[in-house]
Amino acid sequence: MKARMAERISSLKVMAFAAAMLCLALAVSAREPVSAKHAMAASNHPIASAVGAEIMKKGGNAVDAAIATGFALAVVYPEAGNIGGGGFMVIRMADGRSIAIDYREMAPAAATRDIYLNEKGDVISGEGGPVTGYRASGVPGTVAGFELAFKKYGSGKLKWAELVEPARKLAAEGYVLSRRLAELFKAYSSRLENYEDSKRIFLNGGEYFEPGDRLVQKDLAATLERIRDKGAEGFYQGTTAKLIADDMARNNGLITLDDLKNYKAVERKPIEGSYRGSKIISMPPPSSGGIVLVQVLNMLERHDLRSLGHNSADKYHLLIEAMKRAFADRAELLGDPDFNDVPTEQLIDKSYAAQRAKSISKGKATPSSELGAGIQVGNEPQDTTHYSVVDKDGNVVSNTYTTNNLYGSAVTAKGTGIILNDEMDDFASKPGVPNIFGLVQGEFNAVGPGKRPLSSMTPTIVLRPDGSFWFEVGARGGPRIISASLQTVINVIDHGMDLEDAVNAPRVHHQWLPDEVIYEPYGMSPDTIKILESYGHKFASSPRSIASATAVGIDKEGYRLGVVDKRADGAAVGY
């Protein structure tokens, strides 16, 4: 009786904490910059942001908080938060050090160049292909990446277990489903229902959840308990690894025990550039985001965008043309730097940008068919979530991680509660053929054992001209991530917007191929569209949302600011 009473009290405490944090988050997340004196966490779920803020309140730094937020998102934001995927973390410590941690998924040893092609040489769709089912998953990197960040850059004041435990409790005790999440489960039921544990956990065995129901994830809680107690070893070896590998073996999957045991997160040199005196710090390959963002900024720096105006046809013309050229380079020249000679330094050099920009004509669009990579070397998600953290000392973490598609491969590894990624689609399954995002990619990004697929994730930190931290931004939304992050930077630096307006302002997207401009509802006047069409630009058949961004910053008075895009849900929480 006493044990049951203690368990009930513990459950009520967890639920009360979550409810209190949710109320706090909602109270502070009105559409204006959330401000706090000491620290700020912003993510796509208010409970996860609250967990991050609480970790910093207990003495943890931004890295500690980012890890705890990431684990919490794996529970409360299952469509994109994950421990079954991977991503990138850009850190700037208060002492000026900049770090990039690559915990991108890796192709299993059994993955070969043509593994996703059928007998006709076409990319396999459905089960057995790179998007859905057991063969679509790369080896997850999230847990290894978080452990690397914790050991090297955590505060040292909190234990690993303290960062994982809030997520474990949320999984074990459950949380109340919002209308959005309950409806999203139904919307993706045609994929999830094909896999036993996905159907049981997220579709309530086929009965479906309603808004206000509690989602309890006992298997995930047990997995998180092993990670809490044993660190990354509790994921990549032992019970969890065996459950994943056994389920893969039963279903013709690719990931083995050796693949899991051999996974390594790595530290890389961040991409560093400048724009109108401000320093830009972003993620290097195998993320394409940092290179493309800096390339576009370098091409635009020669023009006075402020005088052109935020929504002018001429400003959009320059932006679109610069995007085309940078995405053309992305398609042919970028891939895993451990397997390819990626010309990173040349691509982000301002003289190279000047050469690329020479072909941009005033008032005339260049057809994408006439553009290729500007360098010749050698031979040749949709869903993601980004979250942002800044602590009282000025340490900053910009983290984007993903399972690629919403709910990844749709597979929940039996007995683990882990939704596995479909990140193999980020490789060029057949070089020159578009993936699910319409991106055309070259031989540098062909499938190969041990390779990390090219990504569009763009966690980015911006410093003021005096070297102090200004703001951080990243986004979710496949290749449109780059456009959302890029235009937030432009909106702040060129157009003088505050962080809230910069994140929420209308934006455009062009990725070279297909040769069309994606634009947002109410984001561009009919007159502006007509002018751009007269220049030769082609527009998508209908407007759509272009990614959703998350950002934190520090204003000149030292207050921490947090913004979650109006295009998404979530909240910024500070103290």
- CATH number for the domain spanning 548: value is 3.60.20.40
What is the pLDDT, as a whole number, of residue 302? Answer: 95
- Cβ count within 10 A of residue 120: 5
Stretch 412-420: mean pLDDT, rounded?
98
Residues 54-63: tens digit of each pLDDT: 999 999 999 9
296, 486 Cβ separation under 8 angstroms: yes
How many domains does the chain fold into?
1
Residue 375: pLDDT above 70? no
Residue 133 in any domain: the answer is yes
Residues 316, 312: Cα–Cα separation, whole Å: 6
Residues 283-294: tens digit of each pLDDT: 999 999 999 999
Token code pair at residue 69 = 């937020």
Residue 403 in any domain: the answer is yes
144, 87 Cβ separation under 8 angstroms: no
Domain residue limits at 121: 32-141+266-371+380-407+417-422+432-575
Helix, strand and coil percent figures for the chain, each rounded to 5: 40, 20, 40
Stretch 245-267: mean pLDDT, rounded?
98
pLDDT band (50, 70, 90) for residue 13: very low
Nearest Cα to Cα of residue 171 among 417, 386, 411, 419: 417
Q: Are strands 34-36 and 40-43 parallel, antiparallel or unpaired?
A: unpaired
CA torsion, points 547, 550, 551, 552, in degrees to nearest 10? 180
Weakest-pLDDT range from 25-39, 126-140, 304-318: 25-39
The kind and range of the H/E element at 221 are: helix 218-230
Residue 156 in any domain: the answer is no
Residues 458, 473: Cα–Cα separation, whole Å: 8
What is the pLDDT, as a whole number, of residue 434? Answer: 64
| Total residues belonging to the chain | 575
Catalytic residue among 256, 384, 400, 488: 384
What is the pLDDT, as a whole number, of residue 439? Answer: 59
For residue 465, how far is the Cα from the chain centroid?
A: 27
Residue 129: pLDDT above 90? yes
Q: Name the DSSP letter for residue 39.
A: -
Rounded mean pLDDT of the chain? 92
Residue 441: pLDDT above 50? yes
Stretch 216-228: mean pLDDT, rounded?
98
Residue 148 in any domain: the answer is no
Residue burial 467-506, b: 16+ Cβ < 10 Å; e: rest: eebbbbbbbbbbbbbbbbbbbbbbbbbbbebbbbbbbbbb
Residue 201 in any domain: the answer is no
Amino acid in the structure at residue 440:
V
Residue 569 in any domain: the answer is yes
Provide the edge-to-edge strand list for the sheet that holds 396-404. Answer: 266-268, 98-103, 86-92, 396-404, 383-390, 40-43, 571-574
Indicate if 384 belongs to the active site.
yes
Residue 516 in any domain: the answer is yes
pLDDT band (50, 70, 90) for residue 10: very low
What is the pLDDT, as a whole number, of residue 574? Answer: 98
Q: Name the DSSP letter for residue 136.
A: G
Pinpoint the alpha helices (H) of 311-407.
Answer: 313-333, 344-347, 350-357
Question: Which of the two residues, 74 and 5, has the higher pLDDT score?
Answer: 74
Residue 348 in any domain: the answer is yes
What is the pLDDT, as a whole number, of residue 198? Answer: 98
- Cβ count within 10 A of residue 528: 17
Pinpoint the alpha helices (H) of 77-120.
Answer: none
What is the pLDDT, as a whole number, of residue 435? Answer: 63
141, 101 Cβ separation under 8 angstroms: no
Q: Are strands 560-564 and 34-36 parallel, antiparallel or unpaired?
A: antiparallel
What is the pLDDT, as a whole number, of residue 372? Answer: 78
Residue 433: pLDDT above 80? no
552, 388 Cβ separation under 8 angstroms: yes
492, 502 Cβ separation under 8 angstroms: yes
Residues 461-503: tens digit of each pLDDT: 999 999 999 999 999 999 999 999 999 999 999 999 999 999 9
52, 573 Cβ separation under 8 angstroms: yes
Which conformational region is residue 212 in: left (phi greater than 0), alpha (psi within -120 to 50 degrees), or beta?
A: left
